[in-house]
């Protein structure tokens, strides 16, 4: 079965697509069959990062039933073993995906026969994004070492918990004739454990179920755009904080150093790890790729 890594993070512009493309390329180069699915719906541009024209086959072909399995929507890239499922040609309002379409995509993703499946998700915390992230128990969060980005990461984790809780309420009988209760109870600015604690208070007998479900998540995270003048213990401290104060297991995968040439690579539409294979940032990406394979 494929290992599925959704790649998310609350904020836009932190480098989710950049990291997805480069990790995918590195792992493909090591002989694994990798597919990247561009799920930044409505703002898809992963093909550009991979130095390709927008492929005519993609998610759209799967949704409009031109092709019948998602596997055939994967097009090869210039890198052997690396495939892309693009959402570029999807209908203009794809960002507001129909529920049935979303479920169809999620079910199909789980059946893909690749070694690794990367889901490049959009920013923010809309339902589609969260549900794609929940496709796997091992999501990767990307953030930058700025307070705003870190704050958004916490909010992202919180929203994931909340979404998971809602899924569970649908599936299991919570003390919830008042399903809306949780919605009303949740205030912005709450930390993830608050939401869980509200649930525990009202459905104490569900505590083991809730804890066991949440503890199955293994969040991984990467600090992108790291600069050498920053506190090098940040990543490990973030890991400590999350493990102590949230309900899942968190693993710090590493920093990706800031490098101006990343911009160059994007402008020239070439893959960074190919163009600059011997920089600090490429070494960082390789270390991270090795950790998740």
Partner 1 sequence: MKKFDELNYYEILKIPMNSSYFQIKQAYKDALSLYDQDSVLTYSLFTREERDEILKKIKDAHSTLIDENKRAAYDRMLVDSGQVKAPISFSANQYRSSLRSSGRTMADDDRLHSRVKEKISVEGIQNLSKEIFSKELLSGNDLKKFREALGVEIPEIHSITKISISVLNAIEENRFDRLPPNIYLKNFLKSYAKILQLDPQKVVDGYFKTISLSHPADG
Residues that bind partner 1 (CB under 8 A): 145, 147, 150-151, 154, 191, 215, 234, 237-238, 240-241, 243-245, 247-249
Residue 16 CB, nearest distance to partner 1 (Å)? 21
How far CA 204 is from CA of 100, 141, 178, 197, in Å, comes to: 33, 30, 15, 10
Burial of 59 (0-12, 13-18, 19+ CB in 10 A): buried
How far CA 258 is from CA of 69, 239, 280, 282, in Å, comes to: 39, 21, 9, 10
Phi and psi (nearest 5°) for 259? -150, 125
Nearer to partner 1, 132 or 238 (CB): 238
Nearer to partner 1, 68 or 245 (CB): 245
The answer to whether 293 touches 27, Cβ cutoff 8 Å, is yes
Residue 203 CB, nearest distance to partner 1 (Å)? 19
Residue 210 CB, nearest distance to partner 1 (Å)? 14
Residue 7 CB, nearest distance to partner 1 (Å)? 21
Nearer to partner 1, 77 or 152 (CB): 152
Q: Is 214 helix (H, G, I), strand (E, B) or coil?
A: helix
Nearby residues of 175 by Cβ (< 8 Å), 6 or more positions away:
202, 203, 206
Burial of 282 (0-12, 13-18, 19+ CB in 10 A): buried
Nearer to partner 1, 190 or 266 (CB): 190
Nearer to partner 1, 71 or 146 (CB): 146
Nearer to partner 1, 17 or 225 (CB): 225
Integer distance in angstroms from the first to the last C-alpha of the chain? 13
Nearer to partner 1, 61 or 213 (CB): 213
Nearer to partner 1, 216 or 269 (CB): 216
Residue 186 CB, nearest distance to partner 1 (Å)? 15
Q: How far apart (Å, rounded) are the C-alpha atoms in residues 222 and 9?
A: 10
Residue 193 CB, nearest distance to partner 1 (Å)? 8
DSSP label of 175: S
Residue 248 CB, nearest distance to partner 1 (Å)? 8
Residue 187 CB, nearest distance to partner 1 (Å)? 12
CA 207 to chain centre: 27
Q: Is 35 helix (H, G, I), strand (E, B) or coil?
A: strand
Beta pairing, strands 218-226 & 249-257: parallel
């Amino acid at each position: 079965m494929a290992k599925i890594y959704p790649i998310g993070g609350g904020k836009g512009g932190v480098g989710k697509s950049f990291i997805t493309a480069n990790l995918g390329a590195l792992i493909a180069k090591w002989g694994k069959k990798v597919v990247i699915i561009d799920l930044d719906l409505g703002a898809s541009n992963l093909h550009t990062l991979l130095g390709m024209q927008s492929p005519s086959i993609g998610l759209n072909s799967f949704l409009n039933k031109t092709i019948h399995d998602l596997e055939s929507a994967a097009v090869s890239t210039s890198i052997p073993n690396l495939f892309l499922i693009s959402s570029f040609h999807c209908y203009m309002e794809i960002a507001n995906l129909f529920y049935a379409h979303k479920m169809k995509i999620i079910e199909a993703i789980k059946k893909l026969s690749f070694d690794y499946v990367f889901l490049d998700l959009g920013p923010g915390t809309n339902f589609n994004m969260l549900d794609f992230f929940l496709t796997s128990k091992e999501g990767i969060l990307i953030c930058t070492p700025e307070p705003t980005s870190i704050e958004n990461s916490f909010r992202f984790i919180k929203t994931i918990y909340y979404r998971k809780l809602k899924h569970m309420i649908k599936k299991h009988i919570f003390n919830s004739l008042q399903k809306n209760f949780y919605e009303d109870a949740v205030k912005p600015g709450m930390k993830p454990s608050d939401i869980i604690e509200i649930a525990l208070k009202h459905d104490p007998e569900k505590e083991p179920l809730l804890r066991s479900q949440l503890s199955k998540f293994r969040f991984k995270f990467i600090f992108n755009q790291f600069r050498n003048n920053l506190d090098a213990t940040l990543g490990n401290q973030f890991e400590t904080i999350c493990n102590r104060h949230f309900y899942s297991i968190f693993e710090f995968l590493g920093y990706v150093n800031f490098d101006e040439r990343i911009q160059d690579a994007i402008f020239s539409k070439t893959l960074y790890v190919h163009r600059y294979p011997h920089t600090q940032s490429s070494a960082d990406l390789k270390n991270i790729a090795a950790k998740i394979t």
